[in-house]
Chain A
Amino acid sequence: MHQFQITRFFGMPDWSLAGYDVSFTNASFFLLVAALIPATFMTLAMKRRALVPNRTQSVAELIYGFVDGITTSTMGKDAKKFFPLVFSLFIFILTANMVGMFPYFFTPTTQIVVTFTMAMIVIGTVLVVGFYKNGLGFLKLFMPSGIPWPLYFLVIPIEVISFLSRPLTLSLRLFANMLAGHIMLKVFAGFVVTMSAAGAVGIVGSILPMGMTVGLMALEFLVAFLQAYVFAILTCIYLNDALHPGH
């Protein structure tokens, strides 16, 4: 579909590096936008650092407090160390999803390589932190305590498979939700066009799919926020596993 196609950004030359195409594409442009919007906003909002915040500063503090609530409620007192990671992931995914909701804009999160890279960053952090903090005790994650020992033959393979599927599900959830949402919007918007091409009755009838499209648009804004939230909270839960395995 046209809205998911990657093309070179207006008039950019095609660069190649060691046989790979590394041109500046529309995907790169919107990834850059999604990174720059929150960075600029947070820098500008916190420039005054007043004790009594003005409107922009209180928005920034609201976002901070929201993410802080997620991290402390799942990770407890160790949350502060991982706050920057969770905050960056949350706000980047949120902006990338929201940018994609505007017509003719590209959604970076509908590319599986983008979401999979973020999921691998999370799982890589979990593995490094887990083995650094607990040593081999991290493997207790696969042996839940308090069950009779014959059950371990059943439980350990299940736990290992569920751990190995985490990067896959973490990336696919975000990717599939954004992709399916945009395709659904396109299908319902297509109904409006085909119905109104059928004459006067069709134009009157096309009010129905039009209203449906407006409703779905609102739903997609909700999904865009919810998926960023789910990604952030799952990151926290996986990091909590790395900090406190075997409970």
Chain B
Amino acid sequence: MDAEGAKYIGAGLACLAMLGAAIGVGNIFGSFLQGAMRNPSAAQGQFGNLIFGFAVTEALGIFGLLIALLLLFVI
């Protein structure tokens, strides 16, 4: 296998990081909705926390995408 092909396989594997990010982000919004349905009056105040948790979780998926982009266009 030449190095060019291995680069594309590596980029594809790096995109698997988004699988974990997808599970995590879905989990966060699902749990938020669950909590919000039980106590709707408290939901408004937790919106900032929701976005913060979403952003931190999504960051790990972005790291994977970054590796894929680096493999495709930089190395």
Binding site for B on A (CB under 8 A): 70, 73-74, 165, 169, 172-173, 176, 180, 229-230, 233-234, 236-237
Contacts and interface: CB of A to CB of B under 8 A. Distances in A.
Contact of A173 (B45, B48, B59): B59
A172 B59 CA distance: 8
A173 B55 contact: yes
Contacts, number: 35
A230 B62 contact: no
**Closest 6 pairs (CB-CB, A-B):** A169-B59, A172-B62, A233-B51, A176-B62, A176-B65, A230-B55
Contact of A169 (B51, B52, B54, B62): B62
A74 B65 CA distance: 30
Contact of B52 (A165, A173, A176, A233): A233
Interface residues of B, number: 12
Nearest to B50: A233
B47 to A, nearest CB: 8
Contacts of B45: 73
A234 B50 CA distance: 11
B62 A234 contact: no
A50 B58 CA distance: 43
B66 interface: yes
Contact of B48 (A74, A169, A172, A180): A74
B61 to A, nearest CB: 9
Given A173-B55, A234-B51, 12 more contacts: A169-B59, A169-B63, A172-B66, A173-B59, A176-B62, A176-B65, A176-B66, A180-B65, A233-B48, A233-B51, A234-B52, A237-B48
Contact of B51 (A172, A180, A229): A229
A88 B55 CA distance: 21
Contacts of A230: 51, 54-55
A130 B16 CA distance: 37
A224 to B, nearest CB: 16
A180 B15 CA distance: 13
A176 B52 CA distance: 18
Q: Which of B52, B54, B55, B63 has the most CB of A within 10 A?
A: B55
Contacts of B63: 169
A173 B51 contact: no
A46 B48 CA distance: 29
A129 B72 CA distance: 39
Contacts of B51: 229-230, 233-234
Q: Which of A74, A165, A169, A230 has the most CB of B within 10 A?
A: A169
Interface in B6-60: 45, 48, 51-52, 54-55, 58-59
B55 A234 contact: yes
A61 B56 CA distance: 31
A181 B4 CA distance: 27
A237 B52 contact: yes
